[in-house]
């Protein structure tokens, strides 16, 4: 086992032990995705508090569970929302009753949470490290009260980006050695020798988005009807698709049933460390970016706003951001905005954690889209999937 893999495993196990071993209920609670905050960070933050009450860190199994907890309905998550992004793109009105002071959610859920009036905005002037956050991430969390992106100084800051990653390509090295090439960009998914050999995420924004990117368009194209041959390209891609899955897509790849899989960089990076016959590629023409966010629930007791600000600033300290990136397999946006020469070699020389700057420049967040556009995505996705059922 690689040393970094061992450190990661023990760090995360220790965090769970630290959480479960707390019998008293502290005044401040942070809910987070399991395996995203190393115990080294927790211990260092606690020392920084100098005798003040430390927060309680409560890990959850999935981002969907955190979102459901945020809206006060933790047990209602269902199979319609697998993986990192929900398939259901229509917000559901609920009453928020969560009690955590700070919660981690995926950026895809931010629009919904704002629309439902579940969050309290942050004041960037109270965050010392805010100016160090790259502009793209600042822009991502600046929204109006409808959850829409706003430019300049309009709107409010609704979240603090913690860590980010990409949509990437995982592939079997042995199979591609036989083929004599390795995947480097989206167009490779259409090659004839991959017929019935790839798996795609069960996510319309991801699959339609990568097809748009292959055709030279944005992931966030507002009107799909303006894209020539989009449906034909998707149907051609489907000739190579063996399955759609957002949760267990790496298992068929490891078993050899598929040769290539679309997935999220955190999942793939962990698998590559364990399975040396797997490789990872970040498409050269750009890919989808995602980020996990710290948000303040409106229903929280607000026991200590200073502690929330301190934790966010702590996560954004350059040395802490670098440590988090190396230990969790996802990258702090502070790292992506840093001078690469100042980064530790393990981070600077890792293309999975720190892709080429030109690739990042061509990559995009999956931004909120108008309802008319979302309907186009749903309708096109339904047609494409129906074709797969008929052909099989």
Write out pLDDT tens, residues 255-313.
Answer: 999 999 999 999 998 898 888 899 999 999 999 999 999 999 988 776 567 899 999 99
pLDDT tens for 325-369 read 999 989 999 999 899 889 999 999 998 899 999 999 999 999 999
364 falls within a domain: no
Measured between alpha carbons, how far is 345 from 340 in angstroms, rounded to an integer? 9
Tokens 């590559």 correspond to 272
Q: Minimal CA–CA distance to 34: which of 354, 273, 333, 330?
A: 330
Q: Is residue 363 part of a domain?
A: no
DSSP bridge pairs for 331: 164
Q: Output the pLDDT for position 154.
A: 81
Whole domain around residue 244: which residue ranges?
Answer: 166-287+369-391
* One domain for residues 50 and 64: yes
Whole-number Å distance between alpha carbons of 70 and 287: 29
Q: Which residues contact 337 (CB under 8 A, 6 or more apart)?
A: 132, 133, 134, 137
Residue 391: enclosing H or E segment and its boundaries?
Answer: helix 371-391
Enumerate the β-bridge partners of residue 82: none
193 and 61 within one domain: no
Question: Are 158 and 303 members of one domain?
Answer: yes
262 within some domain: yes
Domain co-membership, 278 together with 311? no
**Same domain for 253 and 117:** no
The answer to whether residues 301 and 99 touch, using CB atoms and an 8 Å cutoff, is: yes
Look at residue 146 and tell me if it is in a domain.
yes
Contact 278, 254 (CB under 8 A): yes
List CB contacts of 71: < 8 A, sequence separation 6 or more: 94, 95, 96, 98, 113, 116, 118
Q: Is residue 58 part of a domain?
A: yes
Predicted local distance difference test score (pLDDT) of residue 78: 38
Q: Is residue 38 within 8 Å of 324, Cβ to Cβ?
A: yes
Tell me the C-alpha distance between 370 and 220, whole Å: 10
The answer to whether residue 359 sits within a structural domain is no
Residues 49 and 94 in one domain: yes
185 located within any domain = yes
Q: What's the confidence (pLDDT) of residue 246?
A: 92
Give me the CATH number covering residue 131: 3.40.190.10
Q: How confident is the model at residue 270, as a pLDDT?
A: 87
CA distance 43 to 64: 27
360, part of any domain: no
pLDDT at 299: 81
One domain for residues 27 and 148 = yes
From 36, 41, 73, 70, select the one nearest 55 (Cα to Cα): 41
Measure the CA dihedral 207/158/162/355, to 10°.
40
Closest by CA position to 121, among listed 160, 157, 151, 147: 157
All residue ranges of the chain with pLDDT < 50 are 1-14, 17, 20-23, 74-82, 87-97
Q: Give yes or no: residues 64 and 139 share one domain.
A: yes
Q: pLDDT at position 72, please?
A: 61
Which of these, 130, 119, 62, lies nearest to 292 by C-alpha position? Answer: 62
* pTM assigned to the model: 0.87
Whether residues 260 and 125 share a domain: the answer is: no
Same-domain pairing of 19 and 137: yes
Of 377, 19, 9, 32, which Cα lies nearest the Cα of 208? 377
- Residues 114 and 50 grouped into a single domain: yes
- Is there a single domain that holds both residue 196 and residue 255? yes
The total of structural domains in the chain comes to 2
The pLDDT score that the predictor gives to residue 178 is 96
* Confidence at residue 86, expressed as pLDDT on a 0 to 100 scale: 55
């Amino acid at each position: 086992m690689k040393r970094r893999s061992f450190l990661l495993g023990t760090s995360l196990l220790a965090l769970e032990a630290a959480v479960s071993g707390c019998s008293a209920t502290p005044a401040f609670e942070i809910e987070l995705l399991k395996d995203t905050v190393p115990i080294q960070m927790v211990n260092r933050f606690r020392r920084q508090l100098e005798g003040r009450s430390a927060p309680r860190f409560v890990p959850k199994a999935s981002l969907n569970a955190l979102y459901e907890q945020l809206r006060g309905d933790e047990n209602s998550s269902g199979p319609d929302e697998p993986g990192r992004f929900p398939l259901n793109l229509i917000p559901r009105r609920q009453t928020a009753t969560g009690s955590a002071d700070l919660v981690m959610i995926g950026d895809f859920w931010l629009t919904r949470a704002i629309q439902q009036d579940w969050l309290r905005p942050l004041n960037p002037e109270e965050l010392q490290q805010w100016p160090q956050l790259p502009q793209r991430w600042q822009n991502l969390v600046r929204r109006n009260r409808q959850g829409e992106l706003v430019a300049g100084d309009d709107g409010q800051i609704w979240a603090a980006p913690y860590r980010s990653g990409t949509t990437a390509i995982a592939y079997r090295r042995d199979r591609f050695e036989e083929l004599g090439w390795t995947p480097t960009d989206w167009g490779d998914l259409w090659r004839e020798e991959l017929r019935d050999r790839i798996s795609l995420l069960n996510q319309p924004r991801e699959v339609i988005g990568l097809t748009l990117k292959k055709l030279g368009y944005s992931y966030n194209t507002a009107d799909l009807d303006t894209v020539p041959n989009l449906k034909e390209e998707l149907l051609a891609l489907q000739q190579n698709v063996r399955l759609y899955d957002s949760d267990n897509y790496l298992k068929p790849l490891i078993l050899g049933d598929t040769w290539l899989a679309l997935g999220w960089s955190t999942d793939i990076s962990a698998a590559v460390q364990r399975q040396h016959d797997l490789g990872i590629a970040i498409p050269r023409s750009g890919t989808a970016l995602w980020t996990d966010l710290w948000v303040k629930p409106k229903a929280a007791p607000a026991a200590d706003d200073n502690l929330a600000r301190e934790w966010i600033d702590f996560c954004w300290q350059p040395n802490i951001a670098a440590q988090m990136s190396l230990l969790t397999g996802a990258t702090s946006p502070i790292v992506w905005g840093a001078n690469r020469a100042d980064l530790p070699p393990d981070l600077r020389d890792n293309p999975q954690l720190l892709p080429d700057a030109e690739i990042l420049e061509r990559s995009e967040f999956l931004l909120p889209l108008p309802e008319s556009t979302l309907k186009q995505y749903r309708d096109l996705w339904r047609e494409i999937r129906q074709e797969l059922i008929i052909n099989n």
